[in-house]
Amino acid sequence: MKINKSLFFFFLVLLSMAKLKSQTVISKAYSLTLKTLLSHSVQEIDVQEAAKLKDVIFIDAREEQEYKVSHLKDAIWVGFDNQDLSKLNKIDKNQTLVVYCSVGFRSEKTIEKLNKMGYSAVYNLYGGIFEWKNQNQAVYRNHKETEEVHAYNKMWGFWLDKGIKVYD
């Protein structure tokens, strides 16, 4: 019985480590905020793993004014408050999609909808565009790289450490 308990805890630790691996951000305080803010109801991917993906489509679940300031390269904007997921109708349901917003909350809610629609390889960019930029990844406006990122508001913009914060 002792061996079975040991094996059980060993596998439990392995599973925990596997889950934590895809949930990394640079700031420990930001990490704690995300752990409590998000429900973790969908698959998550960290910036480093997402940046390595080759055949991926990025989906922006922020509002249009946020998207216009900057977005990930070739991202498809679907919005959030007046979300238009029909823009994805021609995309194969098995295509790898990475959905993002500022920090991951709106993208998590969007992925829940996409999963119900039958999309199976959908990931939430853990930490959102803020963490993407914090880890020196490029953002674009009008197909040109920019340093500007819409910081949503002063409270949430606190988590954007790199780039130029833009507010409405």
Which tens digit of pLDDT belongs to each residue from 66-96? 999 999 999 999 999 999 999 999 999 999 9
pLDDT value at position 23? 65
CA angle (44, 50, 56) in 5-degree steps: 105
- Contact yes or no for 76/57 (Cβ under 8 A): yes
Domains of the chain: 24-166 (3.40.250.10)
Closest residue by Cα to residue 62 from 53, 70, 73: 70
Give tens-digit pLDDT for 96-134.
999 999 999 999 999 999 999 999 999 999 999 999 999
Token pair 């829940």 is found at 112
The C-alpha atoms of residue 161 and residue 154 are separated, in whole angstroms, by 12
- Greater pLDDT, 5 or 29: 29
Give tens-digit pLDDT for 14-57.
344 444 444 689 999 999 999 999 999 999 999 999 999 999 99
